Amino acid sequence: MINLLIAIILLILIFYLILSIRNRKILLRNFRMENEKILREDILKAIYNHKYNESVCNIDSLSGKLQKTTQQIKTSINQLVESKHVESDDKEIRLTDTGRNYALRIIRFHRLYEKFLADNTNVNEKSWHQLAEEFEHNLTIEEADKLAAQIGNPVFDPHGDPIPSSKGELPEMRRVRLSELNPGDISVVTHIEDEPDDIYQSIISKGIYNGIQIRFLGRFHNEVSFYANEKLCSLSIQEANNINVGLLKLEKIHLGEFKKLSSLAVGQRGKIIGIAKSLRGQQRRRLMDLGIVPGTEVEVELESISGDPLAYRIRGTTIALRKNQAEKIYIESIS
């Protein structure tokens, strides 16, 4: 009897061991297939970006861009050729119409999610790109359309990149590099390239963001100098090449210094002319809900013992704002 029980237990253990090995193999196979799919989609995006930037795409450029071995890239390219998503010869790799549509779909997923993170969450700007890189491979077309409708069917992402429509159409966009401006030109930043990441992080750490107004001073040695709002800034030529701007007509912009709400003392008044575009998402909506919109008059009513926050009188109501919020609100003084 005891021997029979031992035999049954052993059979059960062997059964579960076989089942566990089988499940593990299935998981590993699914994991490998998912990684291969992600690499193929990343390759399609990279080929599209090469075409968009008018540069030649080949095995070596993809290997360096995606940090994969040439053998990994070759294997995925062969799969994409078989599925008729790309065409390849000794000189160049190109997208077919099917491949271009697929690439634009992944780009749409990525940029929609970045826009969602920017306008609907408090996620730090430095994390948007990486989170979208992970999210873009798991979204369906139906989910993307729902997300787009939820956030107002935006045309551009937070970096100024155009978001493909559900039909794969892109809005037209005139691009001029910051480094190509002439001394005295006044422009607004329309796009900041988010790759390579170290260059992007360096740019945003200096307070440059989409929508900021720039008065260009010139190129000096290996740097460019300009005023961004009222702040004197400089960037390397490489950083400036990753920033696109649109030239503005002089009569449509504010040529004087930008005065900030934080510069007012108790008893002083001002009229709001705008909120910095770097203030996004829930914080921006909260300020607008409090009446902080262009044309609204505001008065500094009271300063706390520590000096932060301050109490402001807006539309008959007293609200408290931190200095880091008041720094992002632009005003003109009222005598």
Q: What is the pLDDT of residue 251?
A: 37
pLDDT on residue 255: 43
CA dist 205 and 298 (Å) reads 30
Residues 6, 56: one domain?
Answer: yes
Long-range contact list for 322-326, CB < 8 A, 24+ apart?
323/262, 325/279, 325/283, 325/287, 326/260, 326/261, 326/262
Domain count, the chain: 3
Residue 104 lies in a domain: no
Indicate which CATH number applies to the domain containing 279. Answer: 2.30.30.90
Q: Is residue 103 part of a domain?
A: no
| Residue 167: per-residue pLDDT | 84
Quick check: is 18 in a domain? Answer: yes
Residue 161 maps to a domain? no
* pLDDT attached to residue 239: 92
CB-based burial label for 32 (10 Å; 0-12, 13-18, 19+): exposed
Residue 245 has what pLDDT? 87
- Whether residue 278 is found in the same domain as residue 239: no
pLDDT score, position 151: 80
Q: Is residue 170 included in any domain, yes or no?
A: no
**CATH number for the domain including 44?**
1.10.10.10
Distance CA 303, CA 252 (A): 35
My answer on whether 242 and 266 are in the same domain is no
Question: Where a domain ends, among 252, 267, 299?
Answer: 252
**Whether residue 194 is found in the same domain as residue 211:** yes
Same domain, 241 and 272: no
299 DSSP β-pair partners: 269, 313
- How far is the C-alpha of 220 from the C-alpha of 199, rounded, in Å? 19
The predicted pLDDT at position 104 comes to 92
pLDDT in tens, the chain (335 residues): 666 666 666 666 666 666 666 666 555 555 566 678 888 888 899 888 888 777 788 888 888 888 888 888 889 889 989 999 989 887 889 999 999 999 999 999 999 999 888 878 888 888 888 899 888 888 888 998 888 888 878 877 887 778 888 888 876 656 688 888 888 787 778 888 888 888 888 898 888 887 777 888 888 888 898 888 667 888 999 999 999 887 754 434 444 456 788 888 888 888 887 777 666 666 777 777 777 777 788 888 888 777 778 888 887 788 888 888 888 888 877 76
Question: In the prediction, which pLDDT does 263 show?
Answer: 84
- What length does the chain have? 335
pLDDT at 155: 78
* Together in a domain, 230 and 288: no
Q: Of 39, 70, 95, which one is at a domain's C-terminal end?
A: 95
Which of 195, 226, 252 is the last residue in one of the domains?
252
Q: Are residues 11 and 68 in the same domain?
A: yes
Q: Are residues 264 and 240 in the same domain?
A: no
Residue 139: inside a domain: no
Residue 132 within a domain: no
The reply to whether the predicted model has a pTM over 0.75 is no
**Claim to verify: residue 186 and residue 209 sit in the same structural domain:** yes
Give the DSSP letter string of 32-58: HHHHHHHHHHHHHHHHHHHHHTT----
Q: Based on the domain organization, do 184 and 212 belong to the same domain?
A: yes
Same domain, 243 and 323: no
Instruction: Write phi, then psi, for 92 (nearest 5 degrees).
Output: -155, 155
pLDDT for the residue 290:
75
- Decide: 323 and 293 in contact? Cβ < 8 Å: no
List the one residue out of 188, 185, 178 whose CA is nearest residue 237: 178
Is there a single domain that holds both residue 7 and residue 80? yes
Range of the domain at 212: 176-252
107 within domain boundaries: no
| Tokens read off for 304 | 């706390």
